[in-house]
Chain A
Amino acid sequence: MKKLLMMTTLTALASFPLRAQEKLTVPFRDPSMPRQLVVDAMLGAIQVTGYNGQEVIVESTAGTEGPFRGPRGKQTPVPPGMKRIGGNNAGLDVTEENNTVRISTGLWSARSDVKVQVPVQTSVRVKTMTGQQVRIENVNGEIEVENMNGEVNVLNVSGSVVAHSANGKITVSLNNAAIDKPMSFSTMNGDIDVTLPAAMKANLVMKTENGGIFTDFDMQIDSTARAPKVVDNRPKGGRFSIRSDRATHATINGGGPEIQFTSFQGNILIHKK
């Protein structure tokens, strides 16, 4: 026990400051253990790509290009004849702790596009407010993405994906699904376009308020799940209620872990790979 405690203490925090337009290489503490990348950025596009290596390579194009964003994200154009040379903290913070590399930007920092390369076997968690797209490619692990305003593209990956966009489209293409890991895709105003392995076993729960649901899978639609459920608690002094499920339930290849698709305005498209 004491030894375990010591080993965890040994993997204490390491921090790497990254200034604008710099390229930084961060090693994982223990390459034999599961790796994770966490990106928490307010503005700018984010791209994470798996590559054949052992380290995290971070590139940022943050800096003096484009309009200046002040408090509350207000844009200030660069005055004519002048150029901006600084004044807004454009830096990224990169830390490594217990095999998790964490990249974050300041609350009101200038727009910074971030490009990250990670070993293929890495779990990735990205959270951002940006109106730009988030793109994750060629990784194998647990993937979690939330983009408040922009598109989410998770392409050519394996493992499991949980993705949300408030206003953008979600596109996911999965090569191999992790066994027994639930997944979930949700967007308020965009389409959800997901490509799954042809042999994948799953239970699908699909819900869209104003869109359509389309697929080329041979889906077993479960019509009993849609039938209104009657709950009668009157004998116990409770209420009587009828609940009609708004979701469409179906299985592919006999069923398996649950995948949820939720959109309000958009379509749901489920392709067979």
Chain B
Amino acid sequence: MTCEETKLLVADYVSGEMEGSDELAYEAHLDSCPSCRAETSRVDMLWKDLALLPREEPGGAVRGRFYDTLRAYRQGMDAVPQRRWPVWQMAAAAALLLVGIAAGYLVRPGREVAELREEVTSMRQLVALSLLQQQSASQRLRGVSWAYRAEPNDTEVLDALVTAVNHDTSVNVRLAAVDALHTFAASPATRRAIVESLPRQNTPLVQVALIDLLVDLKEREGTKELRALTVGDSVNDGVKQRALWALEKLQ
């Protein structure tokens, strides 16, 4: 066994998951190679120390999201038909289909369609929420574009977007998230979030986007914050002018 192979197998060795013959070969190599011996005992110690680590307990949000995912998955599983097709079953299926069509005419789209729609909505929500937490800015931009597909009253997605507007490390993601807030414009929570976010921002482009959004929504609550922007020392000139323009528009 070479040093290279030993490196690949060290985890198996210390965890006791190795076949008998491999284990013998591994130990034979250790006898002849001090550096691998040292590495193995180092990993072995680490392995034992790991057992002493306290268990990580998931926070409440993780638990909630996990059960949401599980539920969505189960609903999906229930909808999958069993795939066994003997001839008589085909006949039964055809008969059922007729009954179904008849029932469809009688009942019209009802509960099931509503359930299906709900399922799709919750899947969209999950996709948007999980993408918004990714490390890569490009993935978070994708999360923002999924947020457009959420229901306008989806407070979880709205919260995630507001968090992105206020805290995302990438200016470009913050900008995209401000644009996406248009989708939630009907909710008073959105309007409050926009007004509250205005004094927190220090990137000119994001400030301009928020000002434009206030004007689009004809939101008059933000006049105090807008005035503050027109006199701020460190405020960009373009932003000052925009804030003045907005104050005029909103009068």
Contacts and interface: CB of A to CB of B under 8 A. Distances in A.
Contact of B172 (A186, A238, A246): A186
Interface string A42-79: 00000000000000000000000000000000000000
Contact of B236 (A163, A187, A188): A188
Contacts of A231: 185-186
Given A162-B172, A164-B171, A260-B175, A184 B238 contact: no
Given A239-B186, A262-B205, A264-B205, A6 B47 contact: yes
B15 A142 contact: no
Contacts of B170: 144, 146, 162, 164
A5 B50 contact: yes
A160 interface: yes
Contacts of A265: 238
A142 B138 contact: yes
A83 interface: no
A166 B137 contact: no
Contact of A162 (B46, B137, B185, B236): B137
Contacts of B203: 164, 166
B43 interface: yes
B46 A10 contact: yes
Given A163-B172, A181-B138, A246-B212, A258 B145 contact: yes
B11 interface: yes
B217 interface: yes
A9 B176 CA distance: 36
B145 A264 contact: no
A260 B50 contact: no
Interface in B205-249: 205, 208-209, 212, 216-218, 236, 238
Contacts of B141: 162, 182-184, 258, 260
B141 to A, nearest CB: 4
Interface string B29-45: 00000000000000100
Contact of B175 (A7, A183, A184): A184
Question: Which of B138, B170, B236 neighbours the largest number of chain A CB atoms within 10 Å of its CB?
Answer: B138
Nearest to B169: A127
A238 B186 contact: yes
Interface size bracket, B side: 20 to 34
A188 B238 contact: yes
Interface residues of A, number: 42
B146 to A, nearest CB: 11
A233 B217 CA distance: 13
A239 B220 CA distance: 14
A9 B50 contact: yes
B175 A262 contact: yes
Contacts of A246: 212
Given A162-B172, A241-B217, A262-B205, A183 B138 contact: yes
Interface string A179-213: 00111111111000000000000000000010000
B50 A264 contact: no
B142 interface: yes
Contacts of A181: 138-139, 142
B15 A2 contact: yes
A60 B46 CA distance: 36
Interface in B134-152: 136-139, 141-142, 145
B182 interface: yes
A206 to B, nearest CB: 13
A89 B123 CA distance: 51
Contacts of A209: 208
Question: Which of A7, A178, A188, A246 neighbours the largest number of chain B CB atoms within 10 Å of its CB?
Answer: A188
A239 B191 CA distance: 13
A165 to B, nearest CB: 9
Interface string B117-139: 00000000000000000001111
Given A144-B138, A238-B186, 6 more contacts: A6-B47, A164-B171, A164-B203, A184-B141, A188-B205, A233-B186
Interface of B: 11, 15, 43, 46-47, 50, 136-139, 141-142, 145, 169-173, 175-176, 182, 185-186, 203-205, 208-209, 212, 216-218, 236, 238
9 smallest beta-carbon distances between A and B, as pairs: A184-B172, A182-B141, A164-B171, A162-B137, A188-B204, A181-B138, A160-B138, A144-B137, A233-B186
Interface of A: 2-3, 5-7, 9-10, 123, 127, 142, 144, 146, 160, 162-164, 166, 178, 181-189, 209, 231, 233, 238-239, 241, 243-244, 246, 257-258, 260, 262, 264-265
